[in-house]
């Protein structure tokens, strides 16, 4: 694939054996640190997310189904739950809500890249949705998931997790994402898919930044 051919493994600068050894050592050391210095719950959840991403998604799902990114997105959405467990030593509904936001964000984010790199996935024989079902259906699904994402991102406010600042930011950022999704669907240009992909990255960073700011704002601006 053109976008990955210069990475250490495809280019041959690192052997598969060395990469696997490094990954195993890093994983074992990381889990040991979590067990000894954080808590067992975080270590267990981290292990599950590691297996989910490195084995279930990468080895199996990526090559087995066009819904790979939807199902495999669960592993990618785990970090907020891991962070919550590390601090609280439990998994609350708010942690799962953060998980749900990233889980819903992942398909429109990655499908936009898949549209832009469709030929690469065809050559690599990876059954991404644009390859198996066509670009138009994929673009429609990007719109549907973006609308669902906007609804999901309102839940922190509706459940009392956040305040008005986050609500305003979530609504405006969501409208921006929907703009790009609709533009990709109905008025695409050569670079629209990559622009949608790029916006999705900044979108998630901004969304969680406003969630954090909204949480700490009362400390600096009490009512």
Per-residue model confidence (pLDDT) at position 2: 78
In order of 10, 22, 54, 88, the CA distances from 19 in angstroms are 11, 5, 13, 34
Instruction: Say how far apart CA 200 and CA 121 lie, in whole Å.
Output: 20
Residue whose C-alpha is closest to residue 117's, from 193, 5, 27: 193
Q: Within a 10 A sphere around the Cβ of 128, how many other Cβ atoms?
A: 23
Residue whose C-alpha is closest to residue 50's, from 62, 58, 39: 58
**Token pair of 150, please?**
């906007």
Quote the pTM value. Answer: 0.90
**Domain extents for the chain?**
92-217
Residue carrying structure tokens 């921006």: 176
In sequence order, the 6+-apart residues with CB closer than 8 A to the CB of 54 are 23
Chain Cα centroid distance, residue 211: 17
Instruction: Say how far apart CA 34 and CA 82 lie, in whole Å.
Output: 11
Per-residue model confidence (pLDDT) at position 58: 84
pLDDT tens per residue across all 223 residues of the chain: 777 888 898 888 999 999 999 999 999 999 999 999 999 999 999 999 999 888 888 888 888 888 888 888 888 899 999 999 999 999 999 999 999 999 999 999 999 999 999 998 888 888 899 999 999 999 999 999 999 999 999 999 999 999 999 999 999 999 999 999 999 999 888 899 999 999 999 999 999 999 999 988 876 766 5
**Token pair of 93, please?**
């509904």
Per-residue model confidence (pLDDT) at position 223: 58
Chain Cα centroid distance, residue 189: 25
Angle, in degrees to the nearest 10, between helices 164-186 and 192-220:
180
């Amino acid at each position: 694939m053109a976008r990955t051919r210069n990475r250490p493994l495809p280019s041959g600068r690192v052997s598969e054996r060395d990469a696997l050894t490094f990954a195993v050592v890093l994983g074992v050391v990381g889990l040991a640190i979590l067990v000894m210095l954080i808590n067992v719950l975080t270590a267990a959840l981290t292990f599950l997310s590691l297996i989910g991403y490195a084995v279930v998604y990468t080895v199996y799902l990526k090559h087995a189904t066009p819904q790979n990114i939807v199902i495999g997105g669960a592993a990618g959405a785990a970090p907020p739950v891991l962070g919550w467990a590390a601090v609280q030593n439990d998994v609350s509904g708010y942690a799962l809500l953060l998980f749900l936001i990233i889980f819903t964000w992942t398909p429109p984010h990655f499908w936009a890249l898949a549209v832009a790199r469709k030929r690469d996935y065809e050559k690599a024989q990876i059954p991404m949705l644009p390859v198996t079902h066509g670009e138009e259906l994929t673009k429609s699904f990007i719109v549907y998931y973006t609308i669902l994402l906007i609804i999901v991102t309102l839940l922190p406010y509706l459940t009392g997790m956040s305040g008005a600042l986050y609500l305003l930011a979530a609504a405006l950022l969501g409208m921006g994402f929907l703009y790009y999704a609709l533009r990709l669907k109905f008025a695409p240009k050569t670079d629209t898919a990559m622009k949608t992909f790029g916006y999705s990255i900044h979108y998630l960073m901004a969304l969680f930044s406003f969630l954090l700011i909204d949480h700490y704002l009362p400390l600096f601006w009490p009512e």
